[in-house]
Structure 1
Amino acid sequence: MHPRIPRQSVREQGGPPSAVGPDGDARLSAELAAVVSGARRRALRDGDRQIDTAHLLHSLLDADAEAYAVFEAEPQLPRLLGYLVQRSIGYGLRWQGTVEDSVPVPVVTAAEGFSPLAAGAMEYACARAEPRHGGRVRGIDLLAAILVDPGSRAVEVLTRAGIDAGGVFARLEGHRP
């Protein structure tokens, strides 16, 4: 009998913070490296082979105070958190064993351990952070990045919880540092 959770390489297990992003990107802040590590643990626990945008959203809300603050005024926040927590016991089971991608041909070649959309979100977050001094990617950059594609699992979870992902993205872009 095969184990439910697939084995991971050293890189997938977290490794040093400079190796958690696509292509070993060292631009990630320590906080964001912890978010990616948390998303990786969630993916494994859920029986998924790749980190998807919903794993990233859940980990952001759990580990990044700045990202969580974006949703504090949302009356649907408890519902959102409920959907994210229930993912492994029913809500997300239909996603298990599938690859998150919103187009027939991936626009981004997925980094090891990331769905194509999650890998694209990581790249978008890096590009969003580039103009800032130091270019360190923060959780708020990743939050904006996972909201860009309306076909992402993160956007689907937000929509089901009654939160307008487009409105959240617009607020993030309006307050861009």
Structure 2
Amino acid sequence: MATVVAGARRRAQRDGDRQIDTAHLLHSLLESDPEVRAAFESGSQVARVLGYLVQRSIGYGLRWQSRVEGAQSRVDGAVGVTPVAGWSPAAVAAMEAALARAAERGDPQAGGTGLAGGTDLLAALVGDVDCRAVEVLRRAGVEPADFCRYAGGPSRQA
């Protein structure tokens, strides 16, 4: 997960965004985690999603720069998440949900070192119907609910 976070941070800085958001996390997951890429039906789905994410970095995401993602998020009540400097509330909620998923299945790394797997984070991202990662998936023609089943957890979509 350190690789995913570092990649998301670099993307946010390069894109001129004030915060790491869920689309940054999704982009970094796709680039760094083969298990997450394998969750997609096909390589063409991955390519379409990456295409939208690249468009974001060259202007597609400009409309997102003017608002904070997740102020009204539904994942684990993101409105009440502890603020983390440089992170959107939805991204913080997704990371917290990923850690909770890992801890629930008894992952020994989840508690002490705060590590979760890429599919834990993917499931957390798609669990927030209002986040930017889900918007990107839908625009690329990918059904976010499919990933909740793949990752073995219930959808938190309302």
Question: Where does residue 151 of structure 1 map in the other structure?
Answer: 130
Given that 2:49 and 2:136 are in contact with CA atoms closer than 8 Å, whether structure 1 keeps it comes out as yes
1:116 aligns with 2:85: no
**Structure 2: tracts of 5 or more residues without a match:** 154-158
Superposed CA offset, 1:44-68 (max 9, x none):
1111111000000000000111111
Given that 1:110 and 1:120 are in contact with CA atoms closer than 8 Å, whether structure 2 keeps it comes out as no
1:33 aligns with 2:2: yes
SS in 2 for 1:109: coil
Cα distance in 1 between the residues matched to 2:15 and 2:91? 16
Which segment drifts farther, 71-80 or 157-166? Answer: 71-80
Given that 1:100 and 1:152 are in contact with CA atoms closer than 8 Å, whether structure 2 keeps it comes out as yes
RMSD across aligned C-alpha pairs, in angstroms? 1.8
Within a 5 Å distance, the mapping from 1:1-177 to structure 2 comes to 32-71=1-40, 73=42, 75-101=44-70, 103=72, 106-130=79-103, 131-135=106-110, 136-173=115-152
Cα distance in 2 between the residues matched to 1:64 and 1:117? 21
Q: Using the TM superposition, give the Cα deviation of residue 73 of structure 1 relative to its aligned residue in structure 2, in angstroms.
A: 2.5
In the TM superposition, structure 1's runs of 4+ consecutive aligned residues that sit over 3 Å from their partners are none
Cα distance in 1 between the residues matched to 2:66 and 2:123? 26
Which has more radius of gyration? Answer: 1
Cα distance in 2 between the residues matched to 1:54 and 1:38? 12
Superposed CA offset, 1:66-117 (max 9, x none):
1111125264322111001111212111101321015188231322221000
Distance 1:164 1:106, change over 3 A: same
- Residue identity opposite 2:6 in structure 1: S
Question: Where does residue 18 of structure 1 map in the other structure?
Answer: none
**Structure 1: tracts of 5 or more residues without a match:** 1-31
Cα distance in 1 between the residues matched to 2:145 and 2:71? 16
Structure with more helix by fraction: 2
Cα distance in 1 between the residues matched to 2:140 and 2:150? 18
Given that 1:102 and 1:152 are in contact with CA atoms closer than 8 Å, whether structure 2 keeps it comes out as no
